[in-house]
A and B are shown apart, each in its own frame.
Chain A
């Protein structure tokens, strides 16, 4: 039966009477062959997302995956949900429209550093400041892969690539700093190969109400292999990253022998065991807006790079909620409009009659 639509077409799982099926990762897998290069970090993230969704208590038909252009942007084709592969840089603008039309949808945007931080950086900032209820998974490989290896806005200065044979001259942009500056309500960072910690971060991001942002360090093993090895390998991760857990001190190192403390507002690395102990370390408070700005400035090689949920503020109302509230308030105040109201609107206040 076709259902002629009347007003808002909502598909929230609450509104849907039937019990929520118990999904598995397989339920979220399409019949499309995944076409990323063998060994690409995107595979790990795809697997992690497929694994995370069954625990979310959301119906399959209520997910919408939206992407822009780039290797990472093929993501929606591989998710057995609703999805749109849009145009370069515009995924967040499209996703905003999906939420405005139907706030009941769970919207997730997956795209790369070129898409979300170069051609589409404007939409990234504006989506965050509006606090549209959606999750952004940034697969940051610090390179343009699909166009065959040009430097990206997150590439380090001096990067030798196809378009910069003697090294790029521009400074990179820091995704966490951008998110902090735009007052994003959920900011997190994880590494593609660190599945044990990627999973819970993604799950929390997907459960956040408002814009959630996860930067994933992702290896492009063709054009920028080992770009993140300083942070992603068994022997480098303990030394060059620091796991941030709410209420816990920032301690790192293979032997948990180092920590971060604040000297005034400046972070510094301290050696534990002698003069300092864990009690001297900065305690991570994910509700502290100031800390995320400090984390954004803790970069390799001067600091271990903060990982985990860096900031989370679920208290702000979401954009689409406010948009719909204004509609509802009008209806509450004046009642559902009927044909007479439409006629009155068309006729206006200053009409005249010709007999």
Chain B
């Protein structure tokens, strides 16, 4: 706990975890997003965790309608949105009830006390006559700060001429104002955002005005009300020089795909069917038509993947995106893409399953689906970005590998990194290599005597890719299809030896992708007792936990797979350099199963499927158990 000081001179903290929570209609995602933007501009490192229900507007005041936004901001590097909450803003009793246990003892809890009415307390299941704000134990455990936000917002906007409903909607900005004051943050970026959104885009300057007024009122209230013993300041993080922006995983996927299209000198078709948490990829791409991005909102998941396959056949970069349930529907067509040997990127923003599961909650349980979720021997390249910003690089990688080897690539993001945001050092686009794509013409298959011999399945000896000859190319008319292909010619074949050979070739082609992917890196000692092996979106939690254990002198290293199929060539070597391999995954042991079967190396799994990212605390404790066992 920081020491108390005069409120005029803020005390300095290294790092703060703050959580905004309230009803799903209270604008918590917007509030959290604004705090993040400001935090980014102030120069802190940060990581965010938006956590919201699937229901757009669940019944007001219920615990299942609670929407939350957590953010860790720091003057040093952070990789996770943090475990224990240092400060919480609860806009209603349901938010308070659901989230209070995550607040550290002594933590600040700012509540909108106007919402703690008898009716609202009962709606979220508190017993009759009980008000947590009056609970002695809670008041000694936390610094509960009661602010009549609804009333103060209303009073500050009394002269605005706006209706009660519009005024009530401004209370999130009032709350944000208080927090800006508490953490000594400027209001400019949010004022600009409100002006842009309401005054410029929606042409409702009066809404901009009341929201800005509420924000300022909250800020001045913080300053004058003397509710807080202290203000806090988190100095900027020491980052390497450069231009930075805040980025979420889905935003980075969009930018990566646009960049890949430009680097390949091609148009890109993205076909998808709306699904949480992948939908904002099509939203984002649909704004980039100028870069030759065409988006097709298909009638269903199967149509989406098939339209992408048709686009690939005709020469576009082709991408389809979905989440687990949609990927299940696409399964048959993915087999077609494997058979056709056409480049295709398939984005799976994983969510908690099975079935509809928990659509807005994260999980990593589609790894084996990505590996094996199709009939027949049907290998695909599988990639998994490790953080929001990494989605940019891996989306480009997905396009590069799909076109290099002429095959579909599965890209496994997840709900956590898709919606979570972090600062990103913006790359200089000129440093991103071009993606070489060629569409041969008849001349490429014509010998000196003028004889044309074109074989649609004749492979590049290095990559095993077949030529990407596109319709419209004179003299190279050919048919592709879902039936087994004869080697080289691509004609239909039921020959037993041919099927064996083609099955092996399709697998070998995927395996050869290992030739152009980076080796697996180890964080810490390159050999020793315990290696923590992760994949995909758990990178932040694992890295933080392992660094913490290392700083305590524990014999532990970490490695993180971004390429799941094929794995980097040195994977076995890395694994065999350690006595024990611990694999934390947000599933019941899928990477463990792959590692055991592929390398005959035993693993210790840390497997939690709670719809949430791992907390560092959990990982530290569980890894320490293994180290000490």
Where the two chains meet, the residues of A that have a C-beta atom closer than 8 Å to any C-beta of B are: 1-12, 16, 30, 32, 59-66, 69, 76-77, 79-88, 90, 93-102, 104-105, 122-123, 126, 323-324, 326-327, 329-331, 333-334, 337, 339, 341-343, 345-348, 350-355
Which residue of B239, B296, B340, B480 contacts A96 across the interface (Cβ within 8 Å)? Answer: B296
Q: Which residues of A contact B293 (CB under 8 A)?
A: 327
Q: Report which residue of B240, B258, B291 has the largest number of chain A beta carbons within 10 angstroms of its beta carbon.
A: B291
Q: Which residues of A contact B470 (CB under 8 A)?
A: 9, 11, 102
Q: Which secondary structure characterizes the binding site on chain A?
A: mixed
Q: Give bound CA distance, A1 to B85, whole Å.
A: 62
- The 10 A-B pairs with the shortest beta carbon distances in the complex, nearest first, are A11-B472, A97-B310, A85-B481, A93-B306, A101-B314, A101-B316, A97-B307, A330-B290, A94-B310, A82-B471
Give B240-251 as 1s and 0s: 1 = Cβ < 8 Å from A's Cβ atoms: 111111110000
B429 at the A interface (CB under 8 A) = yes
Given contacts A16-B474, A62-B471, A105-B471, contact A5 B266 (CB under 8 A): yes
Given contacts A62-B472, A126-B299, contact A101 B269 (CB under 8 A): yes
B324 at the A interface (CB under 8 A) = no
Q: Do B291 and A122 have beta carbons less than 8 Å apart? A: no
Q: Give bound CA distance, A98 to B482, whole Å.
A: 17
Q: Report which residue of A2, A6, A7, A334 has the largest number of chain B beta carbons within 10 angstroms of its beta carbon.
A: A2
Q: Which residues of B contact A333 (CB under 8 A)?
A: 290
Q: Do A93 and B310 have beta carbons less than 8 Å apart? A: yes
Q: Which secondary structure characterizes the binding site on chain B?
A: mixed
Interchain Cβ contacts within 8 Å, total number? 259
Q: Report which residue of A79, A85, A354 has the largest number of chain B beta carbons within 10 angstroms of its beta carbon.
A: A354
Please give the distance in Å from B431's CB to the nearest CB on chain A: 11
Q: Do B477 and A342 have beta carbons less than 8 Å apart? A: no
Which residue of A83, A94, A100 contacts B316 across the interface (Cβ within 8 Å)? Answer: A100
Q: Report which residue of A96, A104, A337 has the largest number of chain B beta carbons within 10 angstroms of its beta carbon.
A: A96
In the complex formed, the residue of B with least CB distance to A10 is B472
Segment from B160-168, B345-353, B432-440 that makes contact with A: B432-440
Q: Give bound CA distance, A164 to B515, whole Å.
A: 55
Q: Do A77 and B492 have beta carbons less than 8 Å apart? A: yes
Q: Which residues of A contact B475 (CB under 8 A)?
A: 61
Which residue of B291, B315, B428, B429 contacts A101 across the interface (Cβ within 8 Å)? Answer: B315
Please give the distance in Å from A94's CB to the nearest CB on chain B: 4
Number of B positions contacting A (CB below 8 A)? 86
Q: Do B427 and A346 have beta carbons less than 8 Å apart? A: yes
Segment from B10-18, B37-45, B75-83 that makes contact with A: B37-45
Q: Which residues of A contact B427 (CB under 8 A)?
A: 346
Q: Do B43 and A354 have beta carbons less than 8 Å apart? A: yes
B491 at the A interface (CB under 8 A) = yes
Which residue of A2, A69, A97 contacts B444 across the interface (Cβ within 8 Å)? Answer: A2
Q: Do B314 and A347 have beta carbons less than 8 Å apart? A: no
Q: Which residues of B contact A3 (CB under 8 A)?
A: 438-441
Q: Do A354 and B240 have beta carbons less than 8 Å apart? A: yes
Give B243-270 as 1s and 0s: 1 = Cβ < 8 Å from A's Cβ atoms: 1111100000001001100101111010
Q: Give bound CA distance, A296 to B491, whole Å.
A: 40
Q: Do A339 and B290 have beta carbons less than 8 Å apart? A: no
Q: Which residues of A contact B474 (CB under 8 A)?
A: 16, 59-61
B479 at the A interface (CB under 8 A) = yes
Q: Do A101 and B311 have beta carbons less than 8 Å apart? A: yes
Given contacts A2-B444, A343-B428, contact A83 B298 (CB under 8 A): no
Give B293-306 as 1s and 0s: 1 = Cβ < 8 Å from A's Cβ atoms: 11010111011101
